[in-house]
Amino acid sequence: MFETAQVIIKYNADSKDPFIQTFINGLTLGLKIKNPYITKKFINQYNEYLDKIWESEMDDPKQYQSGKPFKFIVHNLTKDDFYDEFKTELVSSSLITDKAMCVCGKNKLGFILAPYNIKAAVPYDLYTINDYFQPSFHYKDYENREYDKAFKYPGALLSPEIIEKEIINQTVEKNGEILNNDNNKVFSEVIIDGWCPTAIYTITNGEQEINPDYRRAQNLNNIYMFTFIDIDKSLYRSKNGLEPLTKQDQIALANNLFEYTNTSVENIEKLYLKIYKLFLKLKENNEYTTDRFVHEFQKIKK
């Protein structure tokens, strides 16, 4: 409980919101006199206030427009068998926005969740273990892979604005620019009590069927028939004056194309740049389709 209060105070130190400042004053008092009743009271009041902020600031997936700003809470599918994702009561998710799209795991697809019953939201990984139906959060020592301890009040509920700002700053510090996680993955963790999915999403660079995550997300949506959203990260990078694809994404584009076309080639490195230039040309001219990309690729690989 006291640890949660310390996190809330730390990240809200510069807040101009008079309600937030009232909660901070109460939490500061609770910590100073080490009073759990006062601390818990102000944490609960603060969380109720933040609940309303989260509900008001998250966007409706049905209103999403490619290239436009957005804020979603997403549960990224980290397991090959997505049915395993439904075996928990507490759902580990992340906030993604038009300026921060990194998620936990190698896959980039999953469910957009409704912003209800949020128990914690922080700009870092809590390493939550939620394999059991228990009303607490289970942490592990990530390095030693050992269960550590369970808190009734772990990680704080911070605002979307604070989380996005922190993720952007950390991403620039570790990767040199926003919307780039080539060197280090930087993502938030949002804990929700209960499943309430509203859409299926995937984060690509607009490759469509070439991208295996896109194909898997489509298959998933064929089962659930939710709103389907393909978030083209390259559009948002371009809008921020960046190269449309990061270096790692350029390599992934070529490798995915080789896999999709069952192509085995020598001197693969020489093809990477050609494939990327072809991809950009088709997209810039609004001529990109999977079939067209594959057709043009057959010409340049010879």
Q: Are residues 177 and 225 in the same domain?
A: yes
Q: Are 118 and 149 within one domain?
A: yes
Please indicate, yes or no, if residue 226 is contained in any of the structural domains. yes
Residue 295 lies in a domain: yes
For residue 296, give its domain range. Answer: 245-302
Same domain, 165 and 97: yes
Over the stretch 181-212, which tens digit does the pLDDT of each residue have? 999 999 999 988 878 899 999 999 999 999 99
Neighbours of 107 (CB within 10 A): 19
Task: Give Cα separations from 29 to 3, 47, 154, 212 (angstroms).
Answer: 14, 17, 20, 52
Domain edge (last residue) among 188, 207, 233: 233
Q: Are 42 and 82 in a shared domain?
A: no
Structural contact between residues 4 and 154, judged by C-beta atoms closer than 8 angstroms? yes
pLDDT at 88: 60
77 & 222 share domain: yes
Same domain for 89 and 185?
Answer: yes
In this structure, the answer to whether residues 115 and 229 fall within a common structural domain is yes
Q: What is the pLDDT averaged over residues 166-191?
A: 96
Query: Are 139 and 184 in a shared domain?
Result: yes
CA distances to 99, 105, 116, 234, 236 from 241, in Å: 12, 27, 35, 11, 9
Q: Do 116 and 170 share a domain, yes or no? A: yes
Same domain, yes or no: 32 and 101 = no
**Averaged pLDDT for residues 39-58:** 94
* Number of independent structural domains in the chain: 3
Task: Answer yes or no: do 171 and 249 share one domain.
Answer: no
Q: Are residues 51 and 197 in the same domain?
A: no
pTM of the model: 0.88
C-alpha pair distances (Å), 86 with each of 111, 148, 155, 297:
11, 24, 23, 40
